[in-house]
Amino acid sequence: MGMLNTIINWLRVFRAQTAAAVFMLVLIPYLTAGGPLYSWKTLILALWSILAHHMAFGHNTVMDTLMGWDIMDQNKLHHPLVANFIKKETALKVVSFGIFFTTLIAILLVGYSDGNRFYAMAFLSLFLIGGMIYNSGISKISIWDVIPISICFTSLSLFSYFLVAEEFNELIILIAFYIILLQWFEIGVEGEIKEIELKNEINLLTKLGTKFDGNSFNMGKSIVYPWGLKLAGLAVGGYIVYKYTYELTTIVLFALFAFLAIYFCFQLTKKRIWNRKKALRDMALEEIVTIFLLPVVLIPIIGVTEVMIILAFAILYFIGMNSLLWKTKFAPRV
Q: What is the mean pLDDT of the chain?
A: 94
Predicted local confidence at residue 77, as pLDDT: 87
Residue 309 scores a pLDDT above 70: yes
pLDDT score, position 1:
55
- pLDDT attached to residue 332: 67
pLDDT for 34 beyond 80: yes
Contact present, 189 and 268 (Cβ < 8 Å): yes
Residue 190 predicted with pLDDT over 70 = yes
Q: Are strands 272-273 and 211-212 parallel, antiparallel or unpaired?
A: unpaired
Percent of the chain predicted with pLDDT > 70: 98
pLDDT, one tens digit per residue, over 58-117 is: 999 999 999 998 898 888 888 999 999 999 999 999 999 999 999 999 999 999 999 999
Question: Could you give the domains of the chain?
Answer: 3-326 (1.10.600)
The helix (H) or strand (E) run that includes residue 211 is: strand 211-212
- Other CB atoms within 10 A of residue 28 CB: 24
pLDDT at 170: 97
Q: Write down the pLDDT at residue 334.
A: 67
Query: What is the pLDDT, as a whole number, of residue 89?
Result: 96
Strands 216-218 and 211-212: antiparallel
pLDDT of residue 118 exceeding 60: yes
How much of the chain is helix, strand and coil, in % rounded to 5?
75, 0, 20
Q: Residues 44-55: what's their mean pLDDT? A: 98
Q: What is the pLDDT of residue 134?
A: 96
Do residues 200 and 137 lie in contact, with contact meaning Cβ atoms separated by under 8 Å? no
Q: What pLDDT, in 10s, does the model give residues 310-332?
A: 999 999 999 999 999 988 876 66
When pLDDT is cut at 50, 70 and 90, the band that residue 17 belongs to is: very high
Judge whether 67 and 83 are in contact, CB under 8 Å.
no
pLDDT, position 2: 81
Give the mean pLDDT of 211-223.
94
| pLDDT value at residue 74 | 84
